[in-house]
Amino acid sequence: MRQVVLEIADIKVFRNKRQTLKIENLSISAGEIVAIIGPNGAGKSTLLQLINMHLSYKTGKMVLFGEDVAGADKQSLRRRSSMVFQETMLLDDTVFNNVALALRFRGLPEREIKEKVTKALADFHCAHLTTRMAGNLSGGEAQRVCLARALVYEPELLLLDEPFAALDSPTRNTLLAELRLVAIARGTTVMLVSHNFNDVLYFAERAVVLQEGCIVQDDTPEVILRRPVNAIIASLIEMDNVLPCQVEKQGDDILVQLANGVYFPWTGQKWQGATVCCLPGDALYIFDEQLVYQYNSLMAMEGIVSQVVPGIGMYRIMVETQGLSLTMRVPREQVTSRVAIGMQLKIAFNPGDVQLV
Ligand X SMILES: Nc1ncnc2c1ncn2[C@@H]1O[C@H](COP(=O)(O)OP(=O)(O)OP(=O)(O)O)[C@@H](O)[C@H]1O
Stretch of 14-22, 135-143, 238-246, 283-291 lying at the interface with ligand X (CB under 6 A): 14-22
Tell me: does residue 17 bind ligand X (CB under 6 A). no
Kindly give, in sequence order, each residue whose CB lies less than 8 Å from that of residue 114, ignoring residues fewer than 6 positions away: none
User: Count of alpha carbons within 13 Å of 199, Cβ hemisphere only?
Assistant: 28
Identified binder of ligand X from the candidate list 10, 24, 41, 246, rule CB under 6 A: 41
Candidate ranges 41-49, 63-71, 93-101, 246-254; the one touching ligand X (CB under 6 A): 41-49
Beta carbon nearer to ligand X, 42 or 152: 42
Q: Which of 1, 16, 17, 73 binds ligand X (CB under 6 A)?
A: 16
Cβ atoms 238, 197 nearer than 8 A: yes
Among 32, 34, 44, 153, binds ligand X (CB under 6 A): 44
Contact 313, 335 (CB under 8 A): no
d(CA 9, CA 23): 7
Residue 175 engages ligand X in binding (rule: CB under 6 A): no
Contact 268, 330 (CB under 8 A): no
Residue choice 38, 155, 280, 351 for contact with ligand X (CB under 6 A): 38
Identify residue 39 by its one-letter amino acid code: P
Give yes or no for residue 159 binding ligand X (CB under 6 A).
no
303 binds ligand X (CB under 6 A): no
Indicate which single residue of 40, 269, 290, 337 sits in contact with ligand X (rule: CB under 6 A). Answer: 40
Quote the CA–CA distance of 70 and 6 in Å, as a whole number.
Answer: 14
Residues in the chain: 357
Interior/surface letters 260-298, b for 16+ CB within 10 angstroms, e for the rest:
bebbbebeeeebeebebbbbbbebbbbbeeeeeeeeeeb
- 116 near ligand X, rule: CB under 6 A: no
Beta-carbon count within 10 A of 354 CB: 23
Least separation, in Å, of the C-beta of 42 and ligand X? 4
Answer for which of 5, 35, 43, 147 binds ligand X (CB under 6 A) is 43
Q: Considering the complex, state which of residue 16 and residue 344 has its C-beta at the smaller distance from ligand X.
A: 16
Query: Helices marked H in the chain — which ranges?
Result: 44-51, 74-78, 95-105, 110-123, 139-151, 169-186, 197-203, 221-226, 231-236, 289-294, 332-338
Among 6, 8, 11, 20, binds ligand X (CB under 6 A): 20
Q: By CB under 6 A, which span of 39-47, 167-175, 299-307, 325-333 interacts with ligand X?
A: 39-47
DSSP codes joined into one string, 228-277: -SSHHHHHHTT-SEEEEEEEEEETTEEEEEETTS-EEE--SS--TT--EE
Does 75 engage in binding with ligand X (CB under 6 A)?
A: no
Of 8, 23, 34, 42, which lies in the binding site for ligand X, with binding defined by CB under 6 A? 42
The residue (of 46 and 188) whose beta carbon lies closer to ligand X is: 46
Residues that bind ligand X (CB under 6 A): 15-16, 20, 38, 40-46
